[in-house]
Amino acid sequence: MSPDGQPPECAADGAGDCAAEGILVATFPMSGATLFDWHTHPDHQLAWACAGVLAVRTESAAWVLPPTRALWIPAGVRHETGSAGRATMRSVYVPPDMSPVDWTSPTVVSASTLLAEVIGYLGGSLSDAQRGHAEALLADLLTPVPVTTLDVRFPSAEGIAGSVAAALRDQPADPRTLAEWGHSVGASERTLARAFAAEAGMSFGRWRTLLRLRAALPLLAAGEPVSRVAHQVGYETPSAFVAAFRRETGITPAAYFT
């Protein structure tokens, strides 16, 4: 396995500047600590977890992907890929001149049972005719799924807002108020509020809400009950969590991954 998630043919020198001849499928077992740090691919990539939950982040958005969803990542888009717990990623690498779509930004697609079977089939030993039929079917199965991403902009790590943000990233359920956080970092409530507004682009309250909702996504994707997820990310009641989730995404937590 390449340390940056490149297909085997691209892993020899670690440079990631080669392309597969034809569509290639590679499998990457991942632990909860596995992270393919920031990198790009010369080919388009369809990232899919046949088991577990993937987390993919670009410089402008982030996605949580259970086995029912995959992410098309256009060639050249800088991204990092990790997992929420143990997972197995199957990546389909498509040379640009063979691309069946013209998407210029990452796009979530439905990972139907048939798409999963086709990906597995393409990973086997096939004749040219068999491969051609499978590649054509793969193209037909790339069905986009509308998804509202929960983007959280982090303040600079060097500032007072950054230290608070880092602590909440590790413990999103921490209930301290802005005034209490200000006391812990040696700043007034007003100073800390201004720092969040300037560096995160929003109020502390809304920033923490988005952080908590994003922290909930891997838990929801893994099938955790909404009541348990709500408590784990800092909500006193499931109804408060559901209301916040619906306000930001337009749908309920239960419907987000269906």
| Residue/partner pairs of 130-139 with CB below 8 Å, 24 or more apart | 131/22, 131/23, 135/22, 135/23, 135/98, 138/23, 138/92, 138/100, 139/100, 139/101
Q: For residue 196, what are its two tokens?
A: 């969040």
Residue with the two structure tokens 């069946």: 100
Beta carbons within 10 angstroms of residue 71's beta carbon: 23
Q: Residue 33: what pLDDT?
A: 80
Rounded to an integer, what is the distance from CA 173 to the centroid of its chain?
A: 21
The contacts of residue 176 (CB under 8 Å, 6+ apart) are 184
> Which residue(s) pair with 91 in the sheet?
26, 47
Q: Residue 242: what pLDDT?
A: 97
**In the chain, which ranges are continuous DSSP H helix?**
113-122, 128-140, 160-170, 178-185, 189-200, 204-221, 226-232, 238-249, 253-256
> Which residue(s) pair with 108 in the sheet?
71
- Structure pTM? 0.81
Q: Residue 5: what pLDDT?
A: 60
Q: Residue 4: what pLDDT?
A: 57
Q: Residue 14: what pLDDT?
A: 33
Using alpha carbons only, how large is the chain's radius of gyration in Å? Answer: 20
Give domain limits for the chain: 8-140, 160-256
Q: Cα(109)–Cα(141) distance, rounded to whole angstroms?
A: 9
What sign does the CA torsion over 25, 26, 29, 34 have? negative
CATH topology of domain 8-140: Jelly Rolls (2.60.120)
Asked, colleague to colleague, whether 8-140 and 160-256 share their fold, the answer is no
Per-residue pLDDT of the chain (258 residues; tens, 9 = 90+): 454 566 554 443 233 334 446 899 999 999 978 899 999 999 999 999 999 999 999 988 899 999 999 999 999 999 999 998 899 999 999 999 999 999 999 999 999 999 999 999 999 999 999 999 999 999 999 999 988 888 899 998 888 999 999 999 999 999 999 999 999 999 999 999 999 999 999 999 999 999 999 999 999 999 999 999 999 999 999 999 999 999 999 999 988 987
Could you tell me which CATH class the domain 160-256 is placed in? mainly alpha
